[in-house]
Amino acid sequence: MKISLSVLVFLLASISMLGQNLLVNGTFEKKEQGFAEGWTRLKGTPDYIHLDDTSNANVIAQRQFIDLKGQNRGFMGMVLTQRGSEIFQQQLSAPLSKGEIYELSVKVLAGMWCRPGFELITAAVSPIPLALPIKYPVKCLKLRAATEHIPFGEWTTVKVIFKAKGNERFITFGNFNGENSTFIKSAGELIELGTEASCSYLIFDDVRLELAQRPKAKKAPAKIILEDFLFASGSFTLFPESAPMLDSIFQSLSTIEKKITITGYTDNVGSIESNKILSLKRAEAVKKSLISRGFPEDRINTEGLQELNPIMSNDTAFGRQKNRRVEITIDED
């Protein structure tokens, strides 16, 4: 079956994951009875930090160690140790729909005692609240940054795209299954000791859980841009969490009868030769994933164009992140 270019763009545009936030008070700006409205402490005493609350000793302590710049005034803080973490939770404003694709994103700040950096953030979506104490592996989502690790002292966006099983009503944040054990040292006396070798501390802001929506079709070249969230920095191995996004891409592309070209790009860090190899291997990784889903191999071309055709300046970290990408275009012939 053939479809028009405008309809194809309509289908592909859904991958942008624009939609309505299913979380209440995801910015932690509203407070109720001394805690963030809509959120509950499930384990430990996760900190509710509101910069206007100057009488709170904990808020004053956080401001001494952490530069909480930004327009928002409210934040959530969580201690992580080798034996677990504090946990906080919210009931979603609506249950998730079976088979729908969602994006969960969070801005995190690796604060005091976090200098080694984290690999990822873990969160669970479930039909009922998690049972405490947690003595079993938790099926959790893994939110990753565009860089290899979440850096210390910088607001960093982490996210994951996933397919809902259906009727998930709760979202829970914690360090599940010891995912960050490599970077978390002995807890010791925790924050009371004030030692950089004790534990790790994370600040959360702008938590968003969105359903994919389909914007109106645009008269533009049929192109999909896959950002660097698919790969670790300097790697061409796809994150397992990229599977739902690649499923959506395959479903859209499987309705056409034309060839596609997958082009890999890097930023300008590193040699031209190494970047050319890396960009091609990233394109090949996406090609392999589409073939495994059933897309005909003879209809896929790949190329690696290293740092050519940047979409933003390479003078900033954000610009370099945007330039590290893979593009899929529909061949006109």
pLDDT of residue 218: 40
Q: Which CATH class is domain 5-16+220-330?
A: alpha beta
Cβ distance 101 to 17 under 8 Å?
A: yes
Band of pLDDT at residue 110, cut at 50, 70 and 90: confident
Q: What angle do CA 75, 76, 81 make, to 5 degrees?
A: 145
CA distance 78 to 196: 16
Percent above pLDDT 70 for the chain: 75
CA distance 211 to 213: 6
pLDDT by residue (tens digit) across 207-253?
999 986 544 434 434 688 887 667 776 778 888 878 888 888 888 88
Band of pLDDT at residue 23, cut at 50, 70 and 90: very high
CA distance 183 to 148: 13
Domain ranges of the chain: 5-16+220-330, 31-211
First to last CA, the chain: 17
Cβ distance 47 to 77 under 8 Å?
A: yes
As a CATH number, domain 31-211 is: 2.60.120.260
Tell me phi and psi for residue 262, to 5 degrees: -105, 120
CA distance 262 to 304: 9
User: In the predicted model, what is the mean pLDDT of residues 33-44?
Assistant: 92
Q: Worst-scoring range by mean pLDDT, 20-29, 51-60, 221-230? A: 51-60
pLDDT of residue 191: 45
Token digits of residue 319: 């610009």
Q: Worst-scoring range by mean pLDDT, 76-80, 94-98, 195-199, 303-307? A: 195-199
Strands, E, within 127-259: which ranges?
A: 141-143, 155-163, 170-173, 200-211, 223-226
The amino acid that residue 294 corresponds to is G
CA distance 50 to 267: 38
- Nearest alpha carbon to residue 119 among 92, 91, 96, 149: 149
Band of pLDDT at residue 196, cut at 50, 70 and 90: very low
pLDDT by residue (tens digit) across 160-172?
888 899 999 999 9
Band of pLDDT at residue 187, cut at 50, 70 and 90: very low
